[in-house]
Amino acid sequence: MTYVVTENCIKCKYTDCVDVCPVDCFHEGPNFLVIDPEECIDCQLCEPECPVNAIYAEDDLPPDQRNFLAINAELAPQWPVINEIKSPPADAKDWENVEGKLKYLEK
């Protein structure tokens, strides 16, 4: 099983989660983070660190977020690894819990 970054991360991109990952499975895109399902060891450390609850265990993905399993798998090989906390975007708070953010995902 893997953990999956979902829609609520788009445009928020808090990086608290990457600091606790023991295997550096997070990858950073322009306005979103993903987890490489091939690298994730299901350690459960990242999920509670996300301030916007954007990370789920694969088996616990809400039905409307299941497409993010494929999105994480697709984008992880394309984006660089991130393993240190960075400042979030200046407008991250404005994007917290906004619905329908998939259209804003920058690949």
- CATH code at 57? 3.30.70.20
**Are 47 and 72 in contact, with CB atoms under 8 Å apart?**
no
**Report field, pTM of the whole predicted structure over 0.85:** yes
In a domain, 102, yes or no: no
pLDDT, one tens digit per residue, over 52-100 is: 999 999 999 999 999 999 999 999 999 999 999 999 999 999 999 999 9
| Burial of 61 (C-beta count, 10 Å sphere; 0-12/13-18/19+) | middle
Enclosing H/E stretch for 34? strand 33-35
Give the whole-angstrom CA distance, residue 60 versus residue 10.
19
Average pLDDT, the chain: 97
In a domain, 59, yes or no: yes
Counting the structural domains of the chain, the total is 1
Rounded to whole angstroms, what are the CA distances from 34 to 27, 71, 98?
A: 5, 8, 18
pLDDT, one tens digit per residue, over 21-31 is: 999 999 999 99
Instruction: Find, among 77, 84, 76, the residue nearest to 15 by Cα.
Output: 84
